[in-house]
Every structure is written in structure tokens, then in C-alpha cells.
Amino acid sequence: MAKAATALTEKDIQRAIMIKICGGGDTFINNFTPVEWWENDVIRITPAGYWYEYEVKLSMSDFRADKRKKQNVLKDFPYPGTSGKTYRSWTNEMEFKHKLLAGDSGRGPKQFWFVCPDEVIQPEQVPEWAGLMWASKDEYGRMWAICKRQAPNRKTKKQSDKIVERIQFRGFKRYTYKLMFGKDAEAEVDETEHYG
């Protein structure tokens, strides 16, 4: 039987994920939105250039709602009166995140993980294209993340050095704000920035 939502916060679970994945030369940050994709609660780029997404879910209702995530499609359109020049614009056409993750579009992360407090989501409830981690906090306040089901590798392309540089810049910007103002940098950084 699954437990009810716990007192762990999204930030607690993000910290547990980052503790688990740190080392090995990976680049990672929380709350980052790649171009033409949804915000990643934690994004990780491996030294080989592959992107892993970690999606935090605090409750079963939050997990169920995730399948409804959708966004408008971004497409190229020709400039009027020109040959070959195009511009990008959002359309009224919608795409669903879970459908893209389940298919072979080549878009999205190499691995997709759901991460929740202990026992909120069971491994058999997770789609076949996703992995599952449980996060917990011990009596000393230390965070842990344990793999309950390995995420399969999806067919996707490597990320450019540009996205790694953007993630590193974003982390530097957050750190600098914290040093300069003594505040949580995320309150000062525009979280609507989209990078690609």
C-alpha cells in the first residue's frame, strides 16, 4: 500500500537526486527548461553528451497529473517573399510529453526518472519508458535517493556543448546571486529562461 504525501519538499528531493548523481564529470542543475521541452526538476548531462531528466513527484495525485502535461508545438515557417529563410513560432497544435517519451521521436532525454518520497509510487505504476527513485531523509537531515527501477535508455541525440555551457552559466549565476545578496539565488534568477 502506498504512503500518503510526506513532509519532504521538492527542494529536499532535488538535493537527494543531486547527491546521488554527483561525480563522474556530469553537469547538472535543478529547474532548467531545455528548448522545445518541459522544465526539468533536475537535468543532468553526462560527459558523453546525453541528457537525463529527473521529475519530482510529491504525491500520487501529482504523479497521475503528469500524464496530462502538454505544450504548443514550435514549427518553422517561411518568411513571406523570401526563398529558404524561415522563422520559428508556436502553433495551436498541442503535443503531450508522455506520448513523446513513449515514442521514437528522438526528442527528449536519454533517460527519464520519476523521483518521489519513499513508497509514494510503486515500480509497477511507472511507465515502461521511465525509471523510479525513492528519496528519504534520515534523522540527521541527510537526503538519500535509492533506485527502485532502472530507467531504460531511449533513442535520442547527444546534446551540444552549448546546452552544457548554459547549464553551467545558470549555476554560476545562481551561486553569484547567493554570494552577493545572501539570498536564495532562485528568488533572484528569472526561472522562465529557456535554453537550448
The whole-number mean pLDDT for each consecutive block of 10 residues of the chain, a chain of 196 residues, reads 64 93 86 89 92 96 92 81 80 88 89 96 97 94 94 91 86 82 57 45
- When divided into structural domains, the chain yields a total of 1
Tell me whether strands 131-137 and 111-117 are parallel, antiparallel or unpaired: parallel
- Read off the amino acid at residue 56: V
Q: How far apart are the first and last CA of the chain?
A: 41
Q: How far apart are CA 189 and CA 170, in angstroms?
A: 9
pLDDT of residue 83: 78
Nearest alpha carbon to residue 111 among 128, 89, 93: 128
Residue 127 located in a structural domain = yes
pLDDT of residue 5: 41
Residue 4 located in a structural domain = no
Structural domain for 136, as ranges: 10-195
Q: How far apart are CA 101 and CA 103, in angstroms?
A: 6
Residue 1 located in a structural domain = no
Residue 3 located in a structural domain = no
